[in-house]
Amino acid sequence: MKNNNLRIVFSILLTVLFTTVLFAQPTPPSGKSWKRVNALSDEFNSLDGNKWKKNSHVNWKGRSPSQFNPNNVSVSNGKLKIKGTPKDPNVGRIGDRIWTGILRSDKASFKPGMYAEASVKNADMTIVSSFWMQGRFSEIDVIENWGTVKNQRWKNLETTMEMNTHYFPQPCGFDCDRTTQKHFNDGTRNADNFNVYGVWWKDARTILWYKNPKNRANPVAEVRLPYNFNEGMWMYFDMEAFTWGPGVADNNELNNNNRNTAQYDWVHTYELVNGGGGGSDPDPDPTGNDNAFYIVNRQTQKKIRPQNSADASKIIQVASNATDNNVKWEQVNTSGGYFYLKNVQTGKYFRPAGDNDGADIEQRPTSYSGNYTQWKKINTSNGFFYLQNRQTGMYFRPTGDNNNDKMIQRPTSYGGNYTQWKFQNASSKSAGIATLDFKLQAIGNTLKINLEKAGAVSVNVYDLGGNYVYNDSFISNTSEVSIPFRKGVGLATGVYIAKVISNDQVKTVKFAIK
C-alpha cells in the first residue's frame, strides 16, 4: 500500500525541474530575493582580520564582574570559541574576577532589511553567551542565553532563547534605555547542542526572531517598535557575567575546559536585492556546512547518529531518509591519515567503549582526543571503505538490519558489507554526488525513476518553507520505477520540493500543483 500511496502523491506532479532548494529563509517581499553579505558571513575556518576585531567594543570593556580579554577569543576546528576563565581581581579592572571575550565586525554593516543567523552552542556554565548587534543609539540582541543556573528558581533559563532590543534616546543615552524583552522556551538546553538563531530586521520598526531551520518560515518572537531603528550596527559575539538571580560562574566552572567555552560554528547574513519572486533560499544547506556528510552502511543503506546528546550515548543506525543534523558528521584530521568523526548536532566524537570484540560504539566529548576516538579509511570497492580504530585496530558495524540497532566493534576478519561505509555529502548544494546514479524524469503522464540497481527508494516532499508535507519509503524490485500522474490528490495548489534518495544518491525536483 505504501507504494500505491507514493504513486498517488506523485500523480499530482505537473512540472518537473532540478533544483537545490530545500529550506527557505523568511519569505522576502514580492520582487525581492536574498543575497549573501560576505562582510558579515563566516564559516570560521580561520579568524579573518579584515572582517572581525578581537576584544573590540566601541566603548565597553565587558560586564562586571567579567572583563574582555583577547586571549579568550580563538578559532579552531572550524569554530569561533569564546572562553570564560578565572581572573585576578587586582589585574586589569579592579574587582572583576572573570576573563571573557568579544568579537566585533570591522564595520557597522548590519542594516535595516537584513537577515542574520548563527549556529551557536552555549558554554555549559553559569554565564551568558550572546550574539547581537549595536549602533550608537540602538541594539538588537539575537540571543543572550544562559548555559546553566545556580538558583533553581531560574532553571527555565537553561532552555530559553532570550531576545531583546534596546533604544538609547539622546541626549540621555544608556541611562534611558528602553527595552522590548522576549523569551522562547522549547525545552532544549542551550548548552547541549548547536542551535541556529536568526533575526530579521524587517524594517525600521519591525524585528523578527527565529530558532532552527524548521522555524525559519515562522518567527518565534516579533516586536513592533514605537521608535525607528535606522542606523547601521556592528555585529558582536561575546560572553558576559551577570550578578542577578541565576548566579555567577565559580572557579570550578571557569577551570573546566569541557564547560567554559561557547562555540559559534558559522554566521550567515543576507540582504534583500531586486529580482526573484520571493521565498528563495540563499543557503540551501540548513547546517551552513558544505563539508558535512552522512555515514552510510553498505549492507543496510542506513545512516548513523548518536542515540541522544548525552556523553556515552550509543551510536545507532536510522533510516536512509533522515537528513537532520544528528545524522551529519564532520572529519577532523589528526595525523598519519587518522581523523576524528564529529557529530554536527552534538559536537562530539565517537569511539569504542573498550578493547574487546563486541564493545559498543559510544559518543564522547572532544576532550577525548586520544587514539580511541581516531579512525582511518581502509578502501574496499565502489567508493566504500572500512573504518579502522587507531587504538584497537578493529572495525565497527551495526548489530542488524533494523532502525535503532547499535554499532559494535568487530575484528578485521569481519570483512563483509556490514563493516563497510561511505561518506555521502550532506550539503544540498552537492546533492547528487555518489557512485551509484539514478535518473529522474517526467515523460508524458508518468514520473520515471531509473535505478542502476534495484533497492530502497525514499521520497520526501516539502513545501517552500522547508516543512515536511509527505514522506514515504519502499523497496523497488526492479531498476525502473514508473509512477503515473493523477491530479488533485493529497496536496493543495502550490509549488513543492521532492527529494528522492536511492543507492546513496540524492536528487531533488521541484513540482507544481495547479
For range 208-227, the mean pLDDT? 80
What residue type is 19 in one-letter code? T
* CATH classification code of 2-20+431-513: 2.60.40.3080
What is the structure's pLDDT at 292? 82
Task: Tell me how far the alpha carbon of residue 393 is from its chain's centroid.
Answer: 32
CATH 2.60.120.200 residue window(s) in the chain: 32-274
DSSP structure string for 9-30: HHTT----EE-------SPPPT
* Res. 122: pLDDT tops 80: yes
Q: What is the mean pLDDT of the chain?
A: 81
Instruction: Indicate left, alpha or beta for 63 from its phi (over 0: left) and psi (-120 to 50: alpha).
Output: beta
The answer to whether 497 touches 21, Cβ cutoff 8 Å, is yes
Q: How far apart are CA 329 and CA 348, in angstroms?
A: 10
* Res. 321: pLDDT tops 80: yes
What is the structure's pLDDT at 11? 39
Q: How far apart are CA 479 and CA 463, in angstroms?
A: 28
Q: 10 Å Cβ neighbour count for 429?
A: 11
Residue linked to cell 490528490:
489
Q: Is the pTM of this model over 0.75?
A: no
Lowest-pLDDT range, 18-22, 35-39, 49-53?
18-22
Q: How far apart are CA 435 and CA 452, in angstroms?
A: 10
Q: How far apart are CA 184 and CA 300, in angstroms?
A: 39
Q: Is 172 helix (H, G, I), strand (E, B) or coil?
A: coil
* Res. 295: pLDDT tops 80: yes
The answer to whether 274 touches 31, Cβ cutoff 8 Å, is yes
What is the structure's pLDDT at 125? 96
Q: How far apart are CA 350 and CA 356, in angstroms?
A: 16
Q: Could you tell me what percent of the chain has a pLDDT over 90? A: 50
Task: Tell me how far the alpha carbon of residue 3 is from its chain's centroid.
Answer: 32
Output the nine-digit C-alpha cell for 172: 540621555
What is the structure's pLDDT at 5? 43
The answer to whether 418 touches 398, Cβ cutoff 8 Å, is yes
Q: How far apart are CA 398 and CA 416, in angstroms?
A: 12
212 pLDDT band (50/70/90 cuts)? Answer: confident
Q: 10 Å Cβ neighbour count for 23?
A: 20
What radius of gyration, in Å, describes the C-alpha atoms of the chain? 25
Cα distances (Å, whole numbers) of residue 50 to 82, 106, 144, 287: 19, 7, 26, 25
Question: DSSP class of residue 429?
Answer: G
Helices (H), ranges, 168-248: none
Q: How far apart are CA 276 and CA 32, in angstroms?
A: 5
* Res. 455: pLDDT tops 80: no
Burial code (b: 16+ CB inside 10 Å, e: under 16) for 45-73 equals eebeeebbbbbbbeeeebbebbbbbeebb
CATH of 293-425, picked from 3.30.470.10, 2.80.10.50, 3.40.1010.10, 1.10.275.10, is 2.80.10.50
Q: How far apart are CA 506 and CA 500, in angstroms?
A: 6
Which carries the bigger pLDDT value, residue 171 or residue 395? Answer: 395
Q: How far apart are CA 116 and CA 196, in angstroms?
A: 10
Per the document, the length of the chain is: 514
Which carries the bigger pLDDT value, residue 117 or residue 6? Answer: 117
284 pLDDT band (50/70/90 cuts)? Answer: very low
Count H helices and E strands in the chain, helices first: 2, 39
Q: How far apart are CA 361 and CA 460, in angstroms?
A: 30
| 449 CB-contact burial (10 Å; exposed 0-12 / middle 13-18 / buried 19+) | buried
Residue linked to cell 554536527:
344
* Res. 504: pLDDT tops 90: no
Class of domain 32-274 as given by CATH: mainly beta
Helices (H), ranges, 125-194: none
165 pLDDT band (50/70/90 cuts)? Answer: very high
CATH 2.80.10.50 residue window(s) in the chain: 293-425
Which carries the bigger pLDDT value, residue 477 or residue 212? Answer: 212
